[in-house]
Amino acid sequence: MVERSRFGQGVEVCRNQPLKWYMWPLAVLPDPSLSEQRVELTKPISLVYIIDDIFDVHGTLDELTLFTEAVNRWEYAAVEQLPDYMKICFNALNGITNEISSKVYNDHGWNPMESLRKAWACLCNAFLVEAKWFADGHVPKADEYLKNGVISSGVHVVLVHMFFLLGHGITKRNVDTVDDFPEIISSVAKILRLWDDLGSAKDENQDGHDGSYLECYMKEKPGTSIENARCHVMHTISETWKSLNNECLAPNPFSTCFTKACLNVARMVPLMYSYDDNRCLPSLEEHMKSLVYESVSS
């Protein structure tokens, strides 16, 4: 919480979602020996949520374009004309990226700065595509939406950070593979994006401009009922799980720890998006209480 508040002051326009920010690392990296990695992973996770809110709710298209250009160029001067909360966000993004890069270099002898910056630029580019769609009133084809949506899910950014923080198998070849959005990462991202887009996955207090795969699919196939569209999404999730399992079971360049963590992200998705009628997450709250507060019976 202290780390979050350190850069969160001044970004009050974005939702404070500590339950999500801290449950992701706890569930994805449950090994007690990985406490330090969990703490570090919370930082990019929280920033994904904050930047998502900026694009979905608060920024104008011109502001979002300038912010995205700043992230692509990684220049603070590019955000000088933007609102203070965007400046603070970019400054936090820069600071956290520098901190994690320094830590990875000191612990594992590899500077991941280029990979981390590239991942953040790809995420903001995808967010901007969605913002332009909304501004233009454009509903893309379902496949076009999903191709962009797996990037805007934020999964790639988080798993790139996790790969470096774990420190296993950091070679030029493996880094290039991680940078290029391999199947093991894109499958997890697709599962999260589709779950997030189901009707039950509407964020609490969310007044943003998110698109929806369901909306795109139903417009592309007139006459399709919402029930049939949801069945299609669930079938796609099931098929994507098969792909993910194949990737994890087949020989791959990643460590067992990283592979298990990817699986854990996908396993956690339904719990993270099981909203009730009040747009709350009672199942996640109960899971958190049992995980953190309740003692394990002998």
- Give, to the nearest 10 degrees, the angle between helix 113-136 and helix 84-108: 150
Is pLDDT above 60 for 123?
yes
Among the residues of the chain, which ranges form H helices?
A: 2-8, 18-28, 35-53, 61-73, 84-108, 113-136, 142-152, 155-166, 172-179, 183-197, 213-220, 226-249, 256-272, 282-292
- Domains of the chain (ranges, CATH numbers): 2-292 (1.10.600.10)
Q: Give the C-alpha separation, 154 to 123, whole Å.
A: 7
DSSP string, 11-48: -TTS---HHHHHHHHHHH---GGGHHHHHHHHHHHHHH
Least confident range of 10-14, 124-128, 232-236, 270-274: 10-14
More confident residue, 30 or 166: 166
| Three-state DSSP class for residue 181 | coil
pLDDT, mean of residues 34-49: 95
Q: What are the angstrom distances between the C-alpha of 179 and each of 12, 102, 131, 183, 191?
A: 32, 19, 24, 12, 19
pTM of the model: 0.89
Average pLDDT of the chain? 87
Q: Which residue has the higher pLDDT, 78 or 20?
A: 78
The average pLDDT across 231-252 equals: 96
User: How many other C-beta atoms are found inside a 10 Å radius of the C-beta of residue 90?
Assistant: 20
Across the range 54-75, mean pLDDT stands at 94
Q: Is 80 exceeded by the pLDDT of residue 295?
A: no
Average pLDDT on 163-191 reads 97
pLDDT value at 204 more than 80: no
Q: What whole-number percentage of the chain has pLDDT above 70?
A: 81
Check pLDDT > 60 for residue 114.
yes
